[in-house]
Structure formats: C-alpha cells, structure tokens
Structure 1
Amino acid sequence: MANKLDGSTKNQEMESVLLDLIKSLQDGQKGFAEIGEHLKDATLKRYFLAESLKRASFRAELEGQLHIAGMADVKESGSVAGALHRSWGELKAKLGGGDHSLLETAEKGEDEAKDAYKKALEHELPLPIRSLLSEQQAHVLTSHDYVRNQRDALAAAK
C-alpha cells in the first residue's frame, strides 16, 4: 500500500497538473491573439482570434475544476518560455517575416501545447478530469495540424 497516493497527495498532484496546463493555455491564448493581430490573411486572422478565445474557454474549464475541488485561485501568468515565444513572434512580425513565418512560430507554440497535454494525461487523474483533458487535447491536436497545413500551403505557394 505504500505506493498508493493518499487523497491529499492526489489532490496536490491534480492541482499541479491543472495549473501547468492553465499556464500553457494562457500562453496559447496570448500567442494566438498576438500572432492573429499580425497575420495578413483575413481567414487566418479570424481563425487565430477564435482559437485564442477557445484557449480562454479551456482555461476557464480547468479553473472551474480547481474551484470545484476547493483548490487554488489561479493568477494570470503564463510561462517564461511562452513569453519568450510570443516575443519571438512579435519580432518576426516587425521584421516582415510574413504569414509563413508567423505560422512557423504558432506551430512551435502548438507543439508545446501538445506536449503539455501529453504530460498531463500521463498522471493518475480522476475520470472526469481525464475526460475533459482528452477532449481539449483532441482540439489542440486538430489546431496544430491546421496551423501546420496552412504553413505548408503558404510555403508551397512561394
């Protein structure tokens, strides 16, 4: 029985996992909004702004789960890596990297989001949380593929 986690440890693990994902979602929300502002293609711009709102929605769902479990209030932050990533995207936009370059930056951000969900789902989590994370992960994977395909289409058009 020594390898079983007690309730308190499981709650701490769940809180840690969800807080890490929330940081990733904050990064994605900000990144999609900032890159979306710089994209020239109107369809991509709308997609990126909608995806920013979707990440905010995912974040709210996870924060709601933390509140239901009686856990921490979440502070607006994001990660240091996310802040650096967004700065790189802004720099590319200012230097005239164009939509292709911005999509490359966005795909790297989506790679980080994919990894965050994969790591989160490696933990022992309650079924409702696991189910929610799986649904969100499926959307993130679809979004990643869309961004990658748009980037590749722009490269092929050159």
Structure 2
Amino acid sequence: MKTTKEKADENIHDNLVNNLQNLLEKNYDAEKGFKKAMEDSKNSRLKSYFQHQAALRGRFVNELDKEIRNLNETPKQSGSVTGDLHRTWIDIKTAFTGKDDEAVLEECIRGEKASVEEYEERLQNNNFPPEVSNVLNNQLTEIKSTLSKVKTLEDIADAWN
C-alpha cells in the first residue's frame, strides 16, 4: 500500500508526463503541418521558410522526447487524430482556394496561435521542474517568433507572387 506522499508524488509524475506527452503530440502535428504547408506553397521562399519551421518543430519533438525519457517513460511516437483531421480540412480548404500561399499562411497562423495558447495554458496551470519549464518557455518564445513572422509573411505574400 502506498503512502499519501508516494501517491502524491506518483500523481505529480503522471501529470508532468501527460503534459509533456500532449505537447509532444502537438509538435508532431505542427511538424507535419509545416511540411504540408511546404508542399502546398507555390513560392520558393515560403517553401524554404516552412521547411525551416518543420525542422524547428522536429527539434522541439526531440527535446520533449528527451524530457519524457528522463522521467523513465516512453514518449508517444506520432501526432494526434485531431491533427490528421486538421490537415485533411486544410487539404479540402486549399483545394477550393487554389492552394494559394495566403490560405496556407492563414492556416499556419491559426495553428501557431493554438500552439501559443496550449503552451501558455500548460505553463500557467502546472508547476513544472525548472529544467522542464526552461525547455517549454524557450519553445514558447520560438513559437511566438514564428507566429509574428508568419503574420508578416502573410502581409507580403502577394508581393512575392
């Protein structure tokens, strides 16, 4: 039988792992989303930018994977069904809009806003160990930078075409 402290420690551990697993899953989704945006974009500069963002999210996946393994847990290996459904919706939407770069950028903005909200909510509502908190805050900062950049790119996308 576990003591109250052992049970509390187990709950804290499980909560930490669940939060990291959910963020890992979201980053798999974001990585796939940026790869999809790269495929759909007509502009070579945007393709390059989306490729860079997919690689960035791949790095986030590796960082989160490491944190989960440090907790002696097995990381998830793929994204979510919701992410797959979202990419299917993007396929349908871009098919009707002619896969123009502006529509692709709009979906990237929507996805990055959701990522910012997800990270902020998890950081605000959980008491992560400092090393985990640092990783998540650094990732959040980079996502916010991406969001700002994508908004700028949307404004100038027409000039590139």
TM-score of the pair, normalised by structure 2:
0.87
Q: What is the alpha-carbon distance in structure 2 between the residues aligned to residue 157 and residue 50 of structure 1?
A: 18
| Aligned position for 1:125 | 128
| Aligned position for 1:24 | 26
| Aligned position for 1:152 | 155
In structure 1, which of residues 54, 66, 69 is the aligned counterpart of residue 68 of structure 2? 66
C-alpha displacement of 1:42: 0.8
Q: Are 1:137 and 2:140 counterparts?
A: yes
Q: Residue deviations 1:63-91, cap 9 Å, x none?
A: 11111111123232x22332222112222
Percentage of pairs with the same residue: 25
Q: Identify, as 1 or 2, the structure richer in helix.
A: 2
Q: What is the alpha-carbon distance in structure 2 between the residues aligned to residue 41 and residue 10 of structure 1?
A: 47
Q: Which segment drifts farther, 89-98 or 6-15?
A: 89-98
| Aligned position for 1:46 | 48
Q: Residue deviations 1:98-134, cap 9 Å, x none?
A: 0001111111111111112112212110000000100
Q: Secondary structure at the match of 1:72?
A: coil
CA contact (8 A) 2:43 2:160 kept: no
C-alpha displacement of 1:23: 1.1
| Aligned position for 1:90 | 91
C-alpha displacement of 1:157: 8.6
Q: Secondary structure at the match of 2:135?
A: helix
Structure 2: state its 5+ residue gaps. none
Q: Are 1:79 and 2:105 counterparts?
A: no
